[in-house]
Amino acid sequence: MKMAPIIESLRDKGEKVIVVHTGQHYDKNMSENILHDLEIDTPDYHLGVMTGTHAEQTASIMINFEEICNKVSPKFVVVAGDVNSTLACALVAAKLQIKVAHVESGLRSFDMSMPEEINRRATDHISDLLFTTEKSANANLKNEGIKDKKVHFVGNCMIDSLMKFIPISKKMAPWRKYGFAGKDYILVTLHRPSNVDKRDRLAKYINMLNQISNNISILFPAHPRTKKNINSFGLEISNSVNIIDPLSYIEFLGLLSNAKIVLTDSGGIQEESTSLKIPCVTIRKNTERPITIEEGTNILAGTEPSAIISIINSILEGKIKKGSTPNLWDGKASKRIADIISKI
């Protein structure tokens, strides 16, 4: 969702773009179908890394990506976000003296127990161009001693994709497929290891969802790891909590656009819900996207089920946080990025 509009914009500028899929996300709905939805051609290279520990994934990506860099000698390596693929490819490029551009740079949770925080910090400090989505990111980078000339506030590429595909997703009306009329369900995503990999923690959240579903139905596209843990832990789920497989990008976007509330631990969904002005309740103690709270519809709820239920009930009673659209979240971030890269 972040890279598709950049690829398109760079090609519009006449740049040759080579697309590498590391394979870190390998579920069909989370990979192949999303590429199709985003109109990305079959990647030029697919590393097929798939699962493994953080060290195994990162090392495997580095070994395979180095071969590609040596073969094609790119002018730039453009990476996005904060996953293991981001850091692995940036490290390879930096050591081969290839310029690195980091999209969605400077975001900070200030929680070093999060693998993503380590990835994003390390990537920022070896990048040549740092593209930020919000002003707090610029301040973070400045505080860490990164030179201003490297940093460019361009807006949010996720919103570029959202604006392009939201009309299609709404026309599909995917909520009808699951028996909903719209605004009569809560959309839930849970995937962070800290929330789903320990039985006691996941059991608390499933019990929480069961309680919430007494008042409103829940639609829960479950990450493969989350679904596996629910089954292996033997957790009981209410009939009003509809657990489904991961969705394609356009189908999920449609469901998000017509949800009453979204309940999530995802960073990207905090941004998408802010743009769509859908009430978002985030199951985390911190967020690296503070603008979604300061200006958007996001509420940082913490991790205690009782507090989360209280917030959900408040929203259902009509106490909805009114949000606004952050600066430069206008669907043109990728064009700004392409303009800057093509001049170097």
Dihedral sign (CA 140, 325, 128, 35):
positive
Measure the CA dihedral 11/17/20/26, to 10°. 10
Q: In the numeric block, which tokens belong to residue 150?
A: 């490297």
The closest of 289, 288, 274 to 329, measured between CA atoms, is 274
Catalytic residue set: 191
Give the residues across from 300 on adjacent strands. 282
Q: In the numeric block, which tokens belong to residue 148?
A: 């201003």
Give the residues across from 263 on adjacent strands. 188, 281
Give the residues across from 299 on adjacent strands. 281
Sequence-separated (6 or more) residues with CB below 8 Å from residue 196: 190, 202, 205, 223, 225, 226, 229
Sequence-separated (6 or more) residues with CB below 8 Å from residue 106: 124, 130, 132, 136, 137, 138, 140, 141, 151
- Distance of alpha carbon 203 from alpha carbon 198, whole angstroms: 8
- Residue bearing tokens 């520990």: 53
The closest of 300, 255, 294, 299 to 276, measured between CA atoms, is 255
- The one-letter code for the residue type at 144 is E
Residue 271, φ and ψ in degrees, nearest 5 = -75, -45
- Distance of alpha carbon 89 from alpha carbon 66, whole angstroms: 8
- Distance of alpha carbon 158 from alpha carbon 180, whole angstroms: 26
